[in-house]
A and B are shown apart, each in its own frame.
Chain A
Amino acid sequence: GIQVEQSPPDLILQEGANSTLRCNFSDSVNNLQWFHQNPWGQLINLFYIPSGTKQNGRLSATTVATERYSLLYISSSQTTDSGVYFCAVERRGNSGYSTLTFGKGTMLLVSP
């Protein structure tokens, strides 16, 4: 099956710093999504981004599908950004449905 690798595995930032999280995937995909898992375990949708660039406030994401990677940028980080960031990819086969393959995540800790 498809492999999804995220880097770095852990990241500690001072509040206000910027960071880039990376997601590499081993084969072509139909869709890609970035999630944030908060300390209570909830997976929050950040970006649906199969290709191109999107921005939402301090966060932005870029996916270069032809080169099989996606980047998540966090600018001016805040303590509330802490948590685990997951990249998930989707491949559709002939079955008529699709499932998600997640990376292992990047654990981010933003200290005040």
Chain B
Amino acid sequence: GAGVSQSPRYKVAKRGQDVALRCDPISGHVSLFWYQQALGQGPEFLTYFQNEAQLDKSGLPSDRFFAERPEGSVSTLKIQRTQQEDSAVYLCASSPTSGGGLDYGYTFGSGTRLTVV
């Protein structure tokens, strides 16, 4: 597609519920990143994929967070047993090269706003 597409756009989950957030990167983009943006804050890194390989998951806040990109294109971020502190906007970004890099360009999706009640 022309841009990075994320779905759903909004998600309300009851505390304890599992959620799955989807990211469709730009076709052919090698690198895919997930970021979490809490209210009033800048985005913070969660995890990085190079094709289907998850090379960095150091930013995932707990073992309730899990991400996958099984065929090297679409990625899913799953949050198990959601808690109120998980409420945030989850942003996906893709880049055409291995390793990403601002000099090669990042494209961000519009994000999924997750509210846990």
Interface string of B81-117 (1 = CB under 8 A from A): 0000000010100000011111101111011010000
Decide if A90 touches B102 in the complex (CB within 8 Å): yes
Interface string of B35-51 (1 = CB under 8 A from A): 10000111111001010
How many Cβ-Cβ contacts under 8 Å join chain A to chain B? 73
Q: Is B56 an interface residue (CB 8 A)?
A: yes
Chain A contact residues: helix, strand, loop or mixed: strand
Decide if B55 touches A95 in the complex (CB within 8 Å): yes
Tell me the smallest distance from the CB of B57 to a CB of chain A, in Å. 12
Q: Is A66 an interface residue (CB 8 A)?
A: no
Decide if A33 touches B42 in the complex (CB within 8 Å): no
| CB under 8 Å from chain A, chain B span 14-67 | 31, 33, 35, 40-45, 48, 50, 55-56, 59
Q: Which residue of B lies closest to A9 (CB)?
A: B40
A38 to B91, CA, bound (A): 14
Decide if B102 touches A96 in the complex (CB within 8 Å): no
Decide if A99 touches B33 in the complex (CB within 8 Å): yes
Interface string of A35-69 (1 = CB under 8 A from B): 10000111101001010000000000000000000
Residues of chain B with a CB closer than 8 A to A41's CB: 89, 110-111, 113
Q: A42-B108, A45-B105 are in contact. Are A104 and B40 (CB under 8 A)?
A: yes
Tell me the smallest distance from the CB of A105 to a CB of chain B, in Å. 6
| Chain A contact residues, CB within 8 Å of chain B | 4, 31-33, 35, 40-43, 45, 48, 50, 86, 88, 90, 92, 95-105
